A and B are shown apart, each in its own frame.
Chain A
Amino acid sequence: MHQPLALQPLASNSATDILAIANNPVLWICVAGVFGVIIIQSAIFMKAARRAAPSVEMSSQDIKTSFRSGAVSAIGPSLAVSLVAIALLGLFGAPAVLSRIGLIGSAAYDVSAAGIAAGSMGAKLGDASYTQSVFAVAFFAMSIGGAMWMLATLILTPLLRKGDAKIRSVNPAAMAIVPAAALIGAFSCLGLTELPKSWIHVLSFLVSAAVMGLCLLLANKLGKSWLREWGLGFSIVIGLGAAFFAAGA
């Protein structure tokens, strides 16, 4: 990872000096570590798959085709995620964005976790109350949230592999209703919490929501699934554009 020295002078201009600590070299080392772990995992899994392939009548050409199909189909979504990540750079700095939004987590959960953590300290992300300490706690909250996902995966995968009857027999109605309710409840509360902050917050929220609605509608009507992937990126950029003009007006 390169050293983002260019960020240092800029950070001192801002009221809250987030980017100064957000680009701490130790955080860059951790990002490189996560990248490294994923590369090592992919290499081990590729080797294991190659070795097992002949036994299930999978040729080396099939392996090559699968790898290439996966790579090609990931180009669009990866660029879409990169756009969202770039939009969040100013708020969290590159190391946190790369490890949280780019990898392990996702924009929706991690931005929410950061917002909740900031709220638990009586602060708001991005404004004058967003101090270095708030950033550190928010980054911790995002990371520990991602860690819980991995912990659940580590515990549940071996159990599910054994076909544990207890887990499979969870009430299907509860499985359909409770998670969806938790998700919509969380995001609607987090979203509405933004509204009383200022009229520009309301405008940004509404513009972004409308763009996402339009993207999903067009994706459905025209059968263009790439619109679904790019929806979040488009919404953020257009919503921020509206906020920029409103703030300047």
Chain B
Amino acid sequence: MTSTTSAAITPTTGTAMAEFNRTTSRWGQITMIAGLLISVAGPLYLVFASGLDIGPAQLWIAFAAVAATFGIIWIVEPLTYFPILGPAAMYQAFMIGNISNKLLPAALIAQTNIGAKPGSKRAELAAVVAICGAAVVHLTSLAVFVGLLGSWLISVIPPSVLTVTRLYVLPTVLGAVLVQAIVSMKQPRTTVFALLVSAVVVFVVLPMVPSLAMVSTAIAVLGTILLAWFFRGKQVAAAKPIHIE
């Protein structure tokens, strides 16, 4: 993969920027691969080394079910963010996460504050530096508020509250996220199709064929895509970054 990086160096780019591109590209890839491996190592340890009785088949099924739902997003999201972030910040953004609600605003504010024109080399450097600043704040607040304070909180709140949280946190997350997705996508036609297809899947198909529960979300996704595509309007909004935090 590193062989592709030299292609980006155009004659107009100064050697200093070329060096920057080389460094961020090489180390962006190395750190991202490290982050990828470490983040998968934890659950794999649990699955295979902690004495739980889980077969590889269960993992493949779970992976397939998630891929059928979010596989398109995995590819589309990096595509839509690249023009905004630029190559160096891509490696930062997709590891730190919370791109649209935190990293993009951070980069934009920094660019404004130093008067960097969008798309310029100064703007690119400002974005990278601003994301570094955002990362420091984010890691600190996670360690303090979630790691320390959160763990303490869990240990002192009454078990009844914890039980309610565990039982009902899923519908509260999904209720809010669905509204967020509908509002931020601004595609009323698609929204109607999505709700219709999902309602049919959840309230009609599943009660009749419970064994389809495993693939219900994938069916809804596929059905919504097909309907939205075949009944698409004349004028279509421009593709924009899609991200729900």
Contacts and interface: CB of A to CB of B under 8 A. Distances in A.
Contact of B129 (A54, A57, A70, A206): A70
Interface in B141-184: 141-143, 145-155, 159, 161-183
A31 B129 CA distance: 24
* Majority SS at the chain B contact face: helix
A188 B194 contact: yes
A179 B73 contact: yes
A81 B60 CA distance: 30
| Band of interface residues on A | 35 or more
Given A45-B88, A78-B142, A120-B62, A149 B78 contact: yes
A37 B35 contact: yes
B139 A39 contact: yes
Interface string B95-136: 111100111011101110110100011100110111111111
Interface string A31-60: 101110111111011101101111111100
Nearest to A150: B36
Interface string B62-101: 1101110111111111111010000110111011111001
Given A126-B170, A161-B5, A178 B146 contact: no
Contacts of A72: 109, 133, 137
B141 A188 contact: no
Contacts, number: 655
B95 A243 contact: no
A34 B20 contact: no
Given A58-B122, A99-B42, A239-B171, A41 B95 contact: yes
A177 B236 contact: yes
Contacts of A149: 74, 77-78, 94
Interface residues of B, number: 173
Given A75-B137, A183-B181, A63 B129 contact: yes
A6 B151 contact: yes
A58 B5 CA distance: 24
A53 B155 CA distance: 48
Interface string A7-43: 1001001100001010010110011011101111110
A40 B31 contact: yes
A1 B148 CA distance: 9
B62 A116 contact: yes
A11 to B, nearest CB: 10
B1 A192 contact: no
A76 to B, nearest CB: 9
A79 B150 CA distance: 12
Contacts of A147: 36, 39-40
Nearest to A194: B171
A85 B155 CA distance: 16
A158 B30 CA distance: 13
Interface in B194-245: 194-195, 197-199, 201-203, 213-214, 216-217, 219-225, 227-229, 232, 236-240, 242-245
Given A6-B154, A75-B137, 13 more contacts: A62-B126, A66-B113, A66-B133, A94-B151, A102-B138, A108-B245, A112-B70, A136-B47, A158-B5, A176-B240, A181-B229, A190-B217, A243-B168
Top 3 closest A-B pairs, CB basis? Answer: A70-B130, A185-B224, A70-B133
